[in-house]
Amino acid sequence: MSSLAVPAALAPRRAWHTDLPVLLVAVCWGASYLAAKEITTARTVLAVLVLRFALALPVLALAGGRALRALTGAQWRGAALLGLVLAGIFLLETYGVVHTSATNAGLIISLTMILTPLAEAAVTRTRPTPSFLGAAALAVLGVVLLTQGAGFARPSLGDLLMLLAALARTVHVLAMSRLKAVQGAGALPLTTVQLGTAVAVFAVLSAAGGGPAPWTVAAGLGARQWAGLLFLAVLCTVFAFFVQMWAVRRSSPSRVSLLLGTEPLWAAGAGVALGGDRLGALGLAGGALVLVGTAWGRRAAG
């Protein structure tokens, strides 16, 4: 037996102590779609994004100051390039959630778990297993049903934007794994540079006439809206990042990924219970198929 093995009597308890914070991150991420929807309009998307990440960025930069200074020029450039992709993801997601329900947003974005292995298979010229293809087909059918509500109709603009966001997330994941410039860089400085780049993009777009200025929006927020903004900045960004780093060291990436994969379930729960979303029979069936398909696909891809 390894000297690092955990005694059988203590293992479940220690595993639970690690799993619970990760599960809380999934809950926060699931609720983030509803929070973003309640504090954002089509005109204030850029301002809200600036405020959200400008609040989180100093904490990350302070925590990773030494690691940031250790980055090479190539790593800075690679991280900044990834930050441009990340900015696109947040723009698509935030505009998307403004124009669709929080439930639809959380379930459609979960297609990233299906799209990423498919894209990776295409890049590496490998054939996905029949089991994974079946899971992908099930998840896609679920999205088709989900976006129809009580009857067949054209998907909303928000649904299409969330689908594009899922595609952009796939590009981001593949770029992080294949971009040689950032290989060897620590997770904390890499994330900090990416978020800094994204904030710069949002600020430039906002200054160029993309809606009201961030400070104008901040001054007009009420107590409930500020609570939502702080929830997005503190719990969904800073807390989530540090919990992931901590949990991967104490558990396994597969276990952490499995727990974080429950995000769409919490998004649907928050949308229905707190946001007043009504899916209809087709929507409920579609949401269930998305959850089953992504869970099945995650296991098949592993």
* pLDDT tens, position by position, 188-245: 999 999 999 999 999 999 999 878 999 999 999 999 999 999 999 999 999 998 988 7
- Is the predicted pLDDT of residue 274 greater than 80, yes or no? yes
Tell me how far CA of residue 220 lies from CA of 32, 43, 103, 178, in angstroms.
Answer: 21, 13, 27, 43
Reported confidence tier of residue 64, pLDDT bands at 50, 70, 90: confident
Query: If residue 33 lies in a helix (H) or strand (E), which one and from where to where?
Result: helix 11-39
Q: Which of 42-51, 62-71, 273-282 has the lowest mean pLDDT?
A: 273-282
Reported confidence tier of residue 13, pLDDT bands at 50, 70, 90: low
pTM as predicted:
0.85
CA proximity to 253, closest of 18, 29, 27, 32: 18
> Mean pLDDT over residues 113-132, rounded?
84
> Mean pLDDT over residues 37-53, rounded?
95
pLDDT of res. 98:
94
- Is the predicted pLDDT of residue 9 greater than 50, yes or no? no
Q: Which of 67-71, 105-109, 131-135, 148-152 has the lowest mean pLDDT?
A: 148-152
> Mean pLDDT over residues 269-273, rounded?
85
Q: Are 83 and 196 in contact (CB under 8 A)?
A: yes
- Is the predicted pLDDT of residue 120 greater than 60, yes or no? yes
Alpha-carbon distance of 294 to 135, in angstroms, equals: 7
> Mean pLDDT over residues 51-60, rounded?
94
Average pLDDT, the chain: 85
Q: Are 98 and 37 in contact (CB under 8 A)?
A: yes
**Percentage of residues of the chain with pLDDT beyond 70:** 89
CA proximity to 189, closest of 245, 116, 256: 245
CA dihedral 229, 235, 237, 243 (to 10 degrees): 180
- Is the predicted pLDDT of residue 182 greater than 90, yes or no? no
